[in-house]
Chains A and B, each alone.
Chain A
Amino acid sequence: MRLLILGTGTMAGLQVQRGWGQIDGVELVGAVDVDLNNLQAFCSKYGVGRSFASLDAALAWGEFDAVSNVTPDALHHPTTLAALAAGKHVFCEKPLATDYAHAMEMTEAAEKAGLINMVNLTYRNVAELHKAREIVRSGQIGEVKHIEASYLQHWVSLRDWSDPGIAGPWLWRLSRDHGSNGTLGDIGIHILDFTTYGADVELTAMNCRLQTFSKVPGDRLGDYVLDANDSFIISAEFSNGAIGVIHSSRWASGHANDQRLRVYGDKGGLELSHGHWGSLLRICAGGDVQSSTWREVTAEPVPTNYQRFADAVHSGIQGEPDFRHAAALQQVLDLALVADLDRHEHRV
Chain B
Amino acid sequence: MRLLILGTGGMANQHARQFAAIDGVELVAGVDVDPMRLEEFNQRHGIPNAFGSIDAAIAWGEFDAVANVTPDSIHHPTTMAALRAGKHVFCEKPLATDYAKALEMTEMAEAAGLVNMVNLTYRNVAQLQRAREIVTSGEIGAVKHVEASYLQSWLVSKAWGDWRTESQWLWRLSKKHGSNGTLGDIGIHILDFASYGSGLEIDHVFTRLKTFDKAEGNRIGEYELDASDSFTMAVDFDNGALGVIHATRWATGHVNELRLRVYGGKGGVEVEHRHDGSHLLVCLGADAETGTWRELPVVPTPTNYQRFADAVQSGANLEPSFRHAANLQRVLDIAAVADRERRELPTQ
Contact = CB atoms under 8 A, between A and B. Distances in A.
Interface string A226-258: 000011111111000111110101011111100
Contact of A233 (B243, B264, B267): B243
Nearest to A143: B212
Given A253-B268, A266-B155, A292-B253, A237 B242 contact: no
A252 B263 contact: yes
A145 B212 contact: yes
Given A209-B234, A243-B232, A253-B265, A231 B288 contact: no
A315 interface: no
B157 A146 contact: no
A251 B144 contact: yes
Interface in B221-262: 229-236, 240-244, 246, 248, 250-255
B263 to A, nearest CB: 4
Given A234-B234, A253-B283, A256-B291, A141 B243 contact: no
A269 interface: yes
B147 interface: yes
Given A207-B206, A251-B144, A213 B240 contact: yes
Contacts of A252: 144-145, 263, 268
Contact of A289 (B210, B233, B252, B293): B252
A345 B339 CA distance: 10
A157 interface: yes
B144 A249 contact: yes
Contact of B158 (A242, A262, A290): A290
A211 B208 contact: no
Contacts of B291: 154, 254-256
A244 to B, nearest CB: 6
B29 interface: no
A66 B231 CA distance: 47
A267 interface: yes
Contacts of A290: 157-159
B234 A254 contact: no
Give the one of A207, A234, A254, A271 with max B CB within 10 A.
Answer: A254
B242 A245 contact: no
Contacts, number: 184
B140 interface: yes
Contacts of B158: 290
Contact of B236 (A211, A243, A271): A211
Interface residues of A, number: 55
A203 interface: no
B166 interface: no
A253 B266 contact: yes
A244 B242 contact: no
A254 B292 CA distance: 7
A120 interface: no
Given A207-B344, A209-B234, A253-B288, A247 B244 contact: yes
Interface in A139-194: 141, 145-146, 148, 150, 152, 154, 157-158
B147 A150 contact: yes
Contact of B288 (A233, A241, A254): A254
A241 B210 contact: yes
Nearest to A291: B159
Contacts of B266: 157, 253
A169 B253 CA distance: 43
B17 interface: no
Given A237-B208, A253-B263, A264 B234 contact: no
A96 to B, nearest CB: 26
Contact of B343 (A234, A265, A288, A345): A345
B216 interface: no
Nearest to B143: A251
A148 B149 contact: yes
A253 B343 contact: no
Contacts of B74: none
Given A157-B266, A252-B268, A343-B344, A211 B252 contact: no
B265 A251 contact: yes
A249 B244 CA distance: 12
B230 A145 contact: yes
Contacts of A269: 153, 251-254
A265 B153 CA distance: 10
A44 B185 CA distance: 66
26 contacts: A145-B212, A145-B250, A146-B251, A152-B263, A154-B291, A157-B264, A157-B266, A207-B206, A207-B343, A209-B344, A233-B235, A233-B242, A234-B234, A235-B244, A237-B208, A241-B212, A254-B288, A254-B291, A254-B292, A264-B252, A264-B253, A265-B250, A267-B252, A268-B252, A268-B253, A292-B153
Which 5 interchain pairs have the tightest Cβ spacing?
A: A254-B283, A284-B253, A269-B252, A251-B144, A254-B268
